[in-house]
A = this chain, B = another copy of it.
Amino acid sequence: MSLYRLDASINPATSKSRALADLVEAEWTSQHPDSVVTRRDIGTHPLPSTTWRDVVMSGMTSDADLTQEQRDARALATTLADELIDADAILLAIPLYNWGIAAHVKSWYDITYTDARIKSGALAGKPVVLATVLGSDYRPGSPKEGWDHSTPWLRHVIEGVWKADLLVVQRQLTLVGANPAMDALKDQAAEVHAAAQQLAIEHGRALAAKRNAPGALV
């Protein structure tokens, strides 16, 4: 049995998305102590920015004319797709950066989505937890409401394209404490944090249980 974990924070030492995902992972491991956890850290080791284009353009090239870069890019795409397809469950730890999807996350998604198996539904029904964090206040009525362009895209591609079985835990206001302008939100941030931790634990239990459910992917 295996859990695939993707981390996208560029600063693991202080990462709030890692901390949230750790709670999910702990529940998984508690229920499946023999499970392998396969890790890929695209935050500190982003994929080459040329890979996706090389794979796409290789599709318009005859095999004999493929460049070495295109062959390497195809091999990397297959490796990344294998990691997802082979996993019994998937855990994604993804921060919001500059109000949009992290460039290295979009790149990873684009590369995996070149894989014919993933395009034809290989991830359908796969249990997935997304643990995501937002530095500022994006709650309804706040000035930045609607400025999180990462989570809605992730929901669309994970639920709508992969057709995976997605649970999301989101923690906002993570910059409270680091940004003095947000000091007035200290109590609210603590509540949001505690609620996110609780939900991460619940999602971790649900992820582990889904794997055990009758009819679960084997």
Q: Which residue of B lies closest to A44 (CB)?
A: B53
A49–B48 CB distance below 8 A: yes
Q: Which residue of B lies closest to A54 (CB)?
A: B10
Answer whether residue A110 sits at the interface, using C-beta atoms and an 8 A cutoff: yes
Report the separation of the CA atoms of residues A160 and B57 in the bound assembly, to the nearest whole angstrom. Answer: 35
**Which of chain A's residues 33-49 have a Cβ closer than 8 Å to chain B?**
43-44, 46-49
B147–A99 CB distance below 8 A: no
Q: Which residue of B lies closest to A11 (CB)?
A: B57
Can you report 16 A-B residue pairs in the complex whose CB atoms are below 8 A from each other?
A: A10-B56, A10-B57, A11-B56, A43-B53, A100-B106, A100-B157, A101-B101, A101-B149, A102-B106, A103-B103, A103-B104, A103-B107, A104-B107, A147-B160, A149-B152, A149-B156
Chain A interfacial positions (CB closer than 8 Å to B): 10-11, 43-44, 46-50, 52-53, 56-57, 97-104, 106-107, 109-110, 113, 147, 149, 152-153, 156-157, 160-161
Using Cβ atoms and an 8 Å threshold, which residues of chain B touch A161? Answer: 99
Report the separation of the CA atoms of residues A52 and B44 in the bound assembly, to the nearest whole angstrom. Answer: 11
How many whole Å from A94's CB to the nearest CB in chain B?
13
Q: Which 4 pairs of residues, A with B, have the shortest CB-CB distance?
A: A103-B107, A46-B49, A103-B106, A149-B153
Report the separation of the CA atoms of residues A160 and B149 in the bound assembly, to the nearest whole angstrom. Answer: 14
Given known pairs A10-B57, A43-B53, A46-B50, the reply for A101 and B106 (CB within 8 Å) is: yes
A99–B157 CB distance below 8 A: yes
A98–B109 CB distance below 8 A: yes
Using Cβ atoms and an 8 Å threshold, which residues of chain B touch A49? Answer: 46-49, 103-104, 107
Using Cβ atoms and an 8 Å threshold, which residues of chain B touch A106? Answer: 98, 100-103, 106
Using Cβ atoms and an 8 Å threshold, which residues of chain B touch A101? Answer: 100-101, 106, 149
